Amino acid sequence: MSDIVNLRQFKKRKARDEKEKAAAENRIRHGRTGAEKKFEREQARKTGEFLDRNRLDPATPHPGKAGDEDA
């Protein structure tokens, strides 16, 4: 004889297993370690500082800018 299976419980267990499998895939795909996050923040800070230090003065005209009158 085979065991009697409660279909409601079977469906719920199957849904939980699928949800856990999707969560595990998302953790692998989107998860980052604290060191990786810190490195990315540091790189963004350094890039911002570099751009700020090398910013052109907005008062000086840019040589390739369209609409220059001296051309």
Would you list the domain boundaries of the chain? 7-53
Q: What is the pLDDT of residues 7-60, one digit of tens each?
A: 999 999 999 999 999 999 998 888 888 898 899 999 999 999 999 999 887 665
pLDDT at 3 over 60: yes
CB atoms < 10 A from the CB of 22, how many? 10
What is the end-to-end Cα distance of the chain in Å, rounded?
95
What's the whole-model pTM score? 0.43
In angstroms, rounded to a whole number, what is the distance separating the alpha carbons of residues 68 and 66? 6
